[in-house]
């Protein structure tokens, strides 16, 4: 009879940012998503409420989707 060796490793979780702006942005995106907004509507609300975009960019659809992925906000 052969012996089997099994190696169990913990999954490496990406470090979450502790930046206050990232935490606030994640909460804002989650609130907008909870209200049922799609990414384009979220983009318009962020512009309307003058939420600063990361790296001095302008909010657009692709940036909203990228930030949701980065901050792990489901769309």
**Residue 22 pLDDT > 80:** yes
Task: Tell me which of 66 and 56 has the higher pLDDT.
Answer: 66
**6 confidence band (pLDDT: 50, 70, 90):** confident
Predicted local confidence at residue 5, as pLDDT: 86
Structure tokens at 49: 């409420």
**Residue 18 pLDDT > 90:** no
Q: What is the pTM of this model?
A: 0.74
Structure tokens at 58: 């302008």
CA distance 34 to 2: 54
Over residues 12-37, the mean pLDDT reads 84
Contacts within 8 Å (CB) and 24+ apart, 47-56: 51/25, 52/21, 54/21, 54/25
Task: Tell me which of 55 and 48 has the higher pLDDT.
Answer: 48
């Amino acid at each position: 009879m052969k012996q089997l060796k099994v190696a169990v490793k913990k999954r490496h979780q990406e470090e979450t940012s502790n930046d206050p702006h990232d935490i606030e942005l994640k909460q804002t995106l989650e609130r907008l998503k909870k209200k049922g907004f799609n990414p384009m509507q979220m983009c318009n609300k962020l512009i309307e409420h003058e939420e600063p975009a990361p790296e001095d960019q302008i909010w657009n659809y692709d940036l909203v989707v990228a930030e949701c992925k980065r901050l792990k906000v489901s769309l």
